[in-house]
Structure 1
Amino acid sequence: MNNLDVRGMACPLPVVQVKRALEAAQGAELRVLLDDGAPRENVKRFAQGRGYRVQEEQLEGGFAFTITGPGTPTAREAAPAAAVAAGPTVMLIGSDRMGDGPEDLGRLLMKNFIMTLLDLSELPDRIFFVNTGVLLAVEGSEVVETLNELGNRGVEVLSCGICLDFFKKKESLAAGGVTNMFTIAETMLNARLVLRP
C-alpha cells in the first residue's frame, strides 16, 4: 500500500497530489492522510468520480482515506477529440455583477440574467461560481431560489471553496455545492462550450 500525506495543503494541491499518486500506484491501494472540510470532500469526490472506492477513517485532527479500485480514465483520456466536442456546456460566473458599468446596474443585470435561465429551453450542464460570483450562491442572495430551481432541473451548481473561505461564506452557502480549482479547470478543458456572462 502506498501512503500520501496532504495535510496542511491548500486547494487544489490535495486533489492534484492524490491524482498523481493514483497514476503512479497503477492500481495499488493508496492511503491518504488529509484535513477535514474541503480537502476531504474534494478528494473523495475526485476519487469516486473516477471509479475508485474510498474507505474513510476518522483520525485525531483529520481523516485517512484508503483508495482502492481500478479507476476509470477521464473523458479527455478515454475519448478521442471528437467526443470531447460532445462534452458538457459550462458557465463560469466570476462576479456578482455583469458588465463594467455602475455596480448597482451590474448586480441587477446579473440577477436578471440568472433568473432568465429558468425560461430557456437549453440549460448549461454546470455553473461554476468563482471570486465574487460565489456571493450569488450564499444566504441573502436574491438568486438563491433560482439557483436551487436550476439544480432541481439538473444543472450542477458549484462554488469555489477557496473563494467561499476568502469571503468567510462557506457556512452560508445556500445553493449547490463546493468545488475546487482542479475540478473547475478539468471540466472547462473537457467542455463542449464554456460561457461567461
Structure 2
Amino acid sequence: MKIIDCRNMACPAPVVTTKRALEEAGGETVQVLVDPGAPRENVIRFAENRGFAVSEVEADNGFALTITSPGSAPVEPVRTVAGKGGKTVMLVASDRLGDGPEELGRLLMKNFIITLLDLAELPDRMLFVNTGVLLTTEGSEVLEALQSLGNRGVEVLSCGVCLDFFHRKEKLVAGSVTNMFTIAESLLGAGSVVRL
C-alpha cells in the first residue's frame, strides 16, 4: 500500500497529490494523510466521485484515508464528454475569482489556474482581458503554470488594449498579444465558453 502525506498542504494540493498517487498506483490501495476540515472533505469527495471506496481513522492530529479501487483494474482519469462541436475557450476577465475579498479572490484564481495542469481536458484557448492580463505579465504568481499550459497546446492570448491600459505590454511573459477581433471571433466561434 502506498502512503502519501498531504498534511500542511494548501488547497488544492491534497486533491492534486491524491489524484496523481491514484493514477500511479494502478488500482492498488493508497493511504492519504490529511488535515481535518476542508482537506479531508475534499479528498474524500474527489475519491468517492471517481468510484473509490474510502475508509478513515484519526491519526496524528488529522486523518488517515484509505482509498481502495472498487475493481482490480485501475480507474481511468475522468474526462469531459468528447465531440462538443468546437473549441473550448476560457475568458479570464479578472485577476481574481469570485466577488469576495480581493486576497481570497486572487488565491482562488491562482489555485484554479495551477489545478488546470492536472486535468485531462484543457481549454483550447485562454483569453485574458481587463485585469486578467495581470496574470500573464511580470510579477504574476501563475506565469509558470500558464507557460506549462502553453507548452501543452493551450493558446494563451492577452488583450493588447488592456495591456496598454495597465502599461504592461512590455512586461508580457506568458502567451502573446491579441486584439478584440480575435477575442470576439474566438468567443462566437467556440463550441463552449467558460468565463472566469
Is TM more than 0.5 here? yes
- Residue 93 (structure 1) aligns with: 92
Give aligned pairs, total. 114
1:144 paired with 2:143, answer yes
Identity between Structure 1 and Structure 2 (%): 73
Question: For residue 118 of structure 1, what is the amino acid of its counterpart?
Answer: L
Equivalent residue, structure 1, for 2:183: 184
**What's the secondary structure of 2:100's corresponding residue?**
coil
Q: What code does the residue aligned with 1:189 have?
A: L
Normalised by the length of structure 1, the TM-score is: 0.57
What does the per-residue CA deviation read over 1:36-73, in whole Å, with 9 as the maximum and x for residues that have no partner? xxxxxxxxxxxxxxxxxxxxxxxxxxxxxxxxxxxxxx
Q: Identify the residue that residue 164 of structure 2 maps to in structure 1.
A: 165
Alpha-carbon deviations, 1:135-193, whole Å to 9, x = none? 00001100000000000000000000000000000000000000001000011111000
Query: What is the CA–CA distance in structure 2 between the aligned matches of 1:106 and 1:187, rounded to whole Å?
Result: 26
| Deviation string, structure 1 residues 88-113 (Cα, Å, up to 9, x no partner) | 10000000000010000000000000
Q: Which has the larger radius of gyration?
A: 2
Give structure 2 stretches of 5+ with no counterpart: 1-83
Partner of 1:27: none
Tell me which residue corresponds to 1:107: 106
- The ranges of structure 1 where at least 4 consecutive aligned residues each deviate by more than 6 angstroms after the TM superposition are none
Provide the aligned C-alpha RMSD in A. 1.2
**Whose RCO is larger (CA < 8 A, sep 6+)?**
1
Q: Deviations over 1:15-52 (max 9, x none)?
A: xxxxxxxxxxxxxxxxxxxxxxxxxxxxxxxxxxxxxx
Partner of 1:134: helix, strand, or coil?
helix
Cα shift at 1:196? 1.1
Deviation, 1:86, is 1.8
What is the identity, as a one-letter code, of the residue corresponding to 1:93? V
Output the CA distance in 2 between the equivalents of 1:159 and 1:196.
15
Q: Measure the CA separation in 2 of the matches of 1:91 and 1:173.
A: 19
Counterpart amino acid of residue 99 in structure 1: G
- State how far apart, in whole Å, the 2-side matches of 1:192 and 1:111 are: 25
- C-alpha distance in 2 between matches for 1:168 and 1:194: 28
Offset at residue 87 of structure 1 (A)? 1.6
Q: Which amino acid aligns with 1:184?
A: I
